[in-house]
Amino acid sequence: MKTKLLITVVVLFMAGLSERKALAQLPEHWVDHEKKTVYYSPDLDLKQQLIHVGIDENRWDILMVSLKYNISTGQSQTNLLMNEYPNYLAAKVLSQKNEDFVVNIPLLGVQNKVQTLNGIEGPYLRAEYYVSKSLSASVKKSMEAGTLVEIQGLLKVLVPETRILERIELPKTVCADLFKTSHTVIDVVSNTARIFSKIDRNGSRYESTRDALKKALIENCVDYPGTEKIESFADLLRAKVDLRSANSNIYGETTVVSTVEKTTPVHYIVTKEPSKESGGENEVSK
């Protein structure tokens, strides 16, 4: 009996995880590993609300449909990306319609382009459709399931991309060369100057690459404990510094960031707005 109960609990637990994973989907995104940044196009918010008007049997209800950016959705998807890519920044990219979106409502026989406007936060649209008395119950049921309305269209997004123009590396063993005479500041500085001279003579194309490599050399190889009392310049030159072992090769690079236009399908989250017959909200990722 206990074994059956344990199996049941495990099955329910795994089913719960699957449901949450389905609802917590990552938005369309692009990763720039050089800048440690994830650029993303947040899902839009598709709202649908059924309003009873009772004009006649063919105009029993009005179905209100709207699609736009929602700041809470954007923030939640920012958090998802930061959890998926630790130590990376998440940045929203500018998105615009490629052309007017198509609204599909098979239950009402609707399939037509709807004027889609570009706003500051992204594209948006709004449309209204009459629902007959005979279809009212079916429409409500489909709204509950989140399958009533489907939006089709393409977004144009501007995504920053980092391109490496030049990269030069030194082996991580170079750190030991800075300390080959002693650990005093004056000797480490002298040894560092000799390596700097070699970097300047290596024939690299960009000065920024050489400067980046010199900076990386100091940051990755030398650690100043700061435990000695310094009262004069002579004390500073005699002070001891520690060798910091680099985990990988030391490099300097020159990069350029350009903006690339990409095309992606529109993604959205379906939200049923409260009506007279119901309250609360249901969300389904699309």
- Encode pLDDT of 62-99 as tens digits: 999 999 998 888 888 999 999 999 999 999 988 888 88
8 Å CB contact between 42 and 105: no
Task: Give the pLDDT score at 276.
Answer: 53
Query: Residue 3 above 90 pLDDT?
Result: no
**What is the C-alpha separation between 242 and 188, in angstroms, rounded?**
10
pLDDT in tens, 211-236: 999 999 999 999 888 777 888 888 88
Amino acid letter for position 285? S
180 versus 227: the higher-pLDDT residue is: 180
Q: Cα Rg for the chain, rounded, in angstroms?
A: 30
DSSP 8-state class, residue 68: E
| Percent of the chain whose predicted confidence (pLDDT) is above 90 | 49
50 φ/ψ angles, rounded to the nearest 5 degrees: -105, 120
Q: How far apart (Å, rounded) are the C-alpha atoms in residues 72 and 43? A: 11
